[in-house]
Amino acid sequence: MKFASKILLLLCMAALFAVPGFAQTGNIKGKVTGLDGKPMVGVTIAIDRKAINQHFEIKTDAKGAYLHAGLPTGQYKVTLMQDGKSVTFLDNVRVTFGGDAEANFDMKELQANAGSAEERAKVEAEKAKQEAVKAGFDQGLAALNAKNYAEAARLFQEAADKDQTQPNIYGQLGLALNGARKYDDAAVAFRKAIELKPDPAYYDNLGIALGSSGKVDEAMQAFQKAAELNPATGAQSWFNAGAVLTNRGKVKEASEAFKKAIELDPMMAQAYYQLGISYFGAPDTIAQAIPALEKFLQMAPADANAEAAKQLIEAAKQSAPTGFKSEKAIAEEKAAAEKAEKAKADAEKAKAKTKR
How many beta carbons lie within 10 A of that of residue 139, not counting itself?
17
For 308-343, how does the pLDDT look when each residue is reduced to its tens digit (9 = 90+)? 999 999 988 887 654 555 666 667 656 655 654 565
pLDDT tens digits along 191-242? 999 999 999 999 999 999 999 999 999 999 999 999 999 999 999 999 999 9
With beta carbons less than 8 A apart as the criterion, state whether 295 and 274 touch: no
Q: Describe the strand order of the beta sheet including 74-82 as a list of residue ranges.
A: 54-59, 44-49, 74-82, 85-95
Spatial CA neighbour of 271 closest among 230, 315, 241 = 241
Q: Which residue type occupies 335?
A: A
Q: Kindly give, in sequence order, each residue whose CB lies less than 8 Å from that of residue 300, ignoring residues fewer than 6 positions away.
A: 269, 270, 273, 306
SS3 at position 68: strand
User: Judging by beta carbons within 10 Å of its beta carbon (0-12, 13-18, 19+), is residue 48 exposed, middle or buried?
Assistant: middle
Q: What is the pLDDT of residue 318?
A: 85
pLDDT higher than 60, residue 21: no
Tell me the pLDDT tens digit for each residue of 78-107. 999 988 888 889 999 999 988 899 999 998
Q: Tell me how far CA of residue 229 lies from CA of 55, 113, 171, 233, 234, in angstroms.
A: 74, 49, 17, 9, 8
Write out pLDDT tens, residues 285-314.
889 999 999 999 999 999 999 999 999 999
CATH 2.40.50.140 holds for 23-105: no
pLDDT computed for residue 353 by the predictor: 54
Find out whether 155 and 140 touch, Cβ atoms under 8 Å.
yes
Cα–Cα distance, 88 to 85 (Å, whole number) = 9
Among 334, 253, 323, CA closest to 287:
323
Domain segments of the chain as ranges: 23-105, 113-195, 198-254, 267-323
Q: What is the predicted pLDDT for the residue at 128? A: 87
pLDDT digits (tens, 9 = 90+) for 110-134: 777 765 666 777 878 888 889 999 9
- The phi, psi pair for 77, rounded to 5°, reads -105, 120
Judge whether 169 and 160 are in contact, CB under 8 Å.
yes
List the helix and strand counts (H, then E) for the chain: 13, 8
Give 48's strand partners: 55, 77
Common-topology check for domains 113-195 and 198-254: yes
Kindly compute the dihedral angle of the four CA atoms of residues 326, 332, 334, 335, in this order, to the nearest 10 degrees.
Answer: 160
Domain 113-195 falls in which CATH fold? 1.25.40
Q: What is the CATH number of domain 198-254?
A: 1.25.40.10
d(CA 333, CA 206): 42
According to DSSP, the residues that pair with 74 across neighbouring strands are 95
